[in-house]
Amino acid sequence: MSGLATPLDPAQDRPSRAPSCIFVIFGAGGDLTRRKLVPALHNLAIQGLLPACFALLGVDRMDFTDQAFREHLDREIREFVGGELDDTRWRELLARSHYLRGDFLQMETYQRLATRLGGLNLELDCAGNDLFYLATPPRFFGEIAPRLAQAGLTSEEGGYWRRLIIEKPFGHDLESARALNRILHECMREDQIYRIDHYLGKETVQNILAYRFANSTVEPIWNHRYIDHVQITVAESLGVENRASYYEEAGALRDMVPNHLLALLAVIAMEPPNSFGADEVRDEQSKVLRAIQPLSPEEVLTHSVRGQYGPGILPDGTRVPGYRQEPGIAADSRTETYAALRLQIDSWRWAGVPFYLRTGKRLPGRFTEIMVEYRQAPTALFRRAVKHRVSPNRLTLRIQPNEGIGLSFNAKVPGPSPRLGVVEMDFSYADYFGSRPHTGYETLLYDCMNGDATLFKRADHIEVGWEIVEPVLDVWQALPPRDFPNYAAGTWGPEAGERLLRSDGRSWRPCSLCEGG
Ligand SMILES: NC(=O)c1ccc[n+]([C@@H]2O[C@H](COP(=O)([O-])OP(=O)(O)OC[C@H]3O[C@@H](n4cnc5c(N)ncnc54)[C@H](OP(=O)(O)O)[C@@H]3O)[C@@H](O)[C@H]2O)c1
């Protein structure tokens, strides 16, 4: 399907340039900077959304001059822009890129940073707004923020703004997440802190709110009377790659559930906000997360599943080693690479509707999808006439890849006998709106420059996320797994993951449109 029912006027509501600012990246020599942040700045530049007065200032311990930093970026980012590099815009962006060498843990780095920012703001005649992105290993979050504050770089007394962006992991458990929030709040106000969950930067996730609240056919049946259950899957076909030391400490549950999967659940399950103001939207998300019933230790045993992949064969025929054979992984590692949960939201809307969450590495496909299964229609009318079972309607919200929405429904198969078949209506984002180069960070960086925190997580979201998973972590730690590895790479996870739904008379839906699915 393609073509818009109502054509869009591209000039209408065209977003304007972000306000002037200097974008400071701590960890400018690192992976996130070259793969995501600078390519996203390039993409914002080609859309005409970067501020008129803008500079990038990279901070790292690598031995660069401004010129060497520009050459490094020029070498590193081309493959990550997600499309054609616009040479003119890219040269302009490089000319606005600067570098400061320093150690994150030394106070003198921040004194020199303050001087450098003062100089750049004066030289460029910028407004004095500074945005600090901590593209660093997480152990530095609680070290950099206090030093910025001590150097006066979080103060907004001059009438300009100062903002800080950090990215997960936000702590390792509830206690460390609270401790990090405390440190950050000692250095700046909550509204200066932008906690990125890059899933929320995806158009399709934002589109869930539009789909739910801008269509009168959706919301009236978006509740326990019509919905049987919801499945949220974040599947990866990759293994642990080069993240062994982080992943051994984290595991699939910590790495994915308190942040990405619960962010998706909140968007699906939240009540309509009074407005799209940042706090109205985030208040509703916070409320629904707080309504999730914490699992008792007994429920953890029946409502959660963990797994670790062993050697196996991927759908393309490649043989891959098991998790315990990956470089940097202990030969007797007990870290889970697969986690599934059955959660229940204690609210009028969702009473009795299970939310099944699963995530895993080395599954047969890479996809992120939410499947909403409606209740079965009464079948009396078809019982005698139709040999085939009436299937429940299923709404699939595809977050990646093949972003879009699918709805399955029953239709009569042509012919003299009354047969039903399941057919699909499909909306594909790329077909309707085209696709433009993106890394997933463009909207988030642009929103932060504009002071719009709607898509960012608040301190309370982080803490409630940990409150939900902590009972599971506690039981899992008390009862070490005895059957790891319990699924072969290239399969859909452990048998217990299938049983989690089968015992409720349901099953995971296979991904139809994903790579390798
Ligand atoms: N990479 C990704 O695509 C990605 C995706 C999503 C989220 N993230 C998150 O983003 C953050 C950054 O990840 P990353 O992979 O970019 O990290 P990284 O590659 O380790 O980069 C951090 C940079 O900081 C430098 N650095 C380390 N300690 C320093 C110190 N004391 N003083 C000055 N510089 C120092 C590092 O230099 P050395 O190399 O010399 O240590 C490196 O250049 C992490 O929180 C990660 O979880 C990353």
How far, CA to CA in Å, does 368 sit from each of 162, 231, 254, 365, 512?
34, 11, 17, 10, 12
Say how many Å lie between the CA of residue 32 and the centre of ligand 1.
7
Strand 97-101 to 54-60 pairing: parallel
Say how many Å lie between the CA of residue 144 and the centre of ligand 1.
13
pLDDT band at 417 (very low <50, low <70, confident <90, very high): confident
Share of the chain above pLDDT 90, in %: 81
Nearest residue (by CA) to ligand 1, atom 6, is: 32
pLDDT band at 169 (very low <50, low <70, confident <90, very high): very high
Same domain (yes/no): 142, 208: no
Q: Any idea of the CA torsion for 235, 237, 238, 239, to the nearest 10 degrees? A: 80
192 domain-assigned: no
Same domain (yes/no): 132, 273: no
Mean pLDDT, residues 168-181:
96
417 domain-assigned: no
Q: What is the pLDDT of residues 487-510, one digit of tens each?
A: 999 999 999 999 999 999 999 987
* Tokens (6 digits) for 193: 């802190």
Same domain (yes/no): 128, 222: no
Mean pLDDT, residues 302-315:
97
Q: Which amino acid is it at 511?
A: C
Nearest residue (by CA) to ligand 1, atom 15, is: 31
119 domain-assigned: yes
Given phi > 0 = left and psi -120 to 50 = alpha, else beta, which region is 408?
A: beta
**Phi and psi of 147, rounded to 5°?**
-70, -35
Same domain (yes/no): 234, 130: no
Predicted pLDDT at 385: 59
Provide the whole-model pTM.
0.93
CATH code for position 450? 3.30.360.10
Same domain (yes/no): 87, 235: no
The region of weakest confidence among 25-29, 167-171, 220-224, 335-339 is: 167-171
Same domain (yes/no): 358, 498: yes
How many whole angstroms separate alpha carbon 488 and alpha carbon 506? 23
CATH code for position 138? 3.40.50.720
Nearest to 93 by CA among 58, 41, 142, 57: 41
Predicted pLDDT at 514: 53
- Predicted confidence (pLDDT) at residue 2 exceeds the cutoff of 80: no
Average pLDDT for the chain: 92
Angle, helices 174-187 vs 459-478, to 10°: value is: 160
Minimum-distance ligand 1 atom for the alpha carbon of 198: 6
* Tokens (6 digits) for 88: 């003119």
Minimum-distance ligand 1 atom for the alpha carbon of 166: 45
- Predicted confidence (pLDDT) at residue 388 exceeds the cutoff of 80: no
312 domain-assigned: yes
Say how many Å lie between the CA of residue 28 and the centre of ligand 1.
8
Q: What is the pLDDT of residues 85-106, one digit of tens each?
A: 999 999 999 999 999 999 999 9
Same domain (yes/no): 323, 449: yes
6 domain-assigned: no
The region of weakest confidence among 217-231, 241-255, 388-402 is: 388-402
Same domain (yes/no): 105, 149: yes
Same domain (yes/no): 239, 101: no
Number of domains in the chain: 2
Predicted pLDDT at 432: 87
For the question of residue 260 being annotated catalytic, the response is: yes
Nearest residue (by CA) to ligand 1, atom 5, is: 32
Predicted pLDDT at 78: 87
How many whole angstroms separate alpha carbon 50 and alpha carbon 44? 6
* Tokens (6 digits) for 390: 């009436």
Q: Which residues of 371-408 are buried (b: 16+ CB within 10 A; e: fewer)?
A: bbbbeeeeeeebeeebeeebebbbbbbbbbbbbbbbeb
Same domain (yes/no): 32, 91: yes
Domain boundary, last residue among 144, 167, 190 = 167
Predicted pLDDT at 379: 72
Domain boundary, last residue among 150, 167, 184 = 167
How many whole angstroms separate alpha carbon 141 and alpha carbon 453? 19
403 domain-assigned: no
Nearest residue (by CA) to ligand 1, atom 19, is: 30
Same domain (yes/no): 73, 25: yes
Mean pLDDT, residues 209-229:
96
pLDDT band at 380 (very low <50, low <70, confident <90, very high): low
196 domain-assigned: no
Predicted pLDDT at 83: 79
Same domain (yes/no): 39, 114: yes
- The preferred substitution site among 24, 25, 60 for testing ligand 1, maximizing ligand atoms within 8 Å of CB, is 60
Say how many Å lie between the CA of residue 334 and the centre of ligand 1.
26
Domain boundary, last residue among 167, 184, 212 = 167
Full residue range of the structural domain in which residue 218 is found: 201-372+440-502
Nearest residue (by CA) to ligand 1, atom 25, is: 27
Give the DSSP per-residue string, 437-457. Answer: ---S-HHHHHHHHTT--TTSB
- The 8-class DSSP code of residue 159 comes to S
The region of weakest confidence among 291-300, 340-349, 428-437, 454-463 is: 428-437
Minimum-distance ligand 1 atom for the alpha carbon of 35: 3
* Tokens (6 digits) for 315: 């759908």
Predicted pLDDT at 1: 38
- The 8-class DSSP code of residue 20 comes to P
Residues framing ligand 1 (Cβ under 6 A): 27, 29-32, 35-36, 60-61, 103-105, 135-138, 167
Contact 32, 25 (CB under 8 A): no
346 domain-assigned: yes
Predicted pLDDT at 12: 57
Say how many Å lie between the CA of residue 65 and the centre of ligand 1.
19
- Which entry of 98, 229, 260, 438 is annotated as an active-site residue? 260
- Predicted confidence (pLDDT) at residue 516 exceeds the cutoff of 50: no
Predicted pLDDT at 3: 46
- Residue 323: count of CB within 10 angstroms of its CB: 28
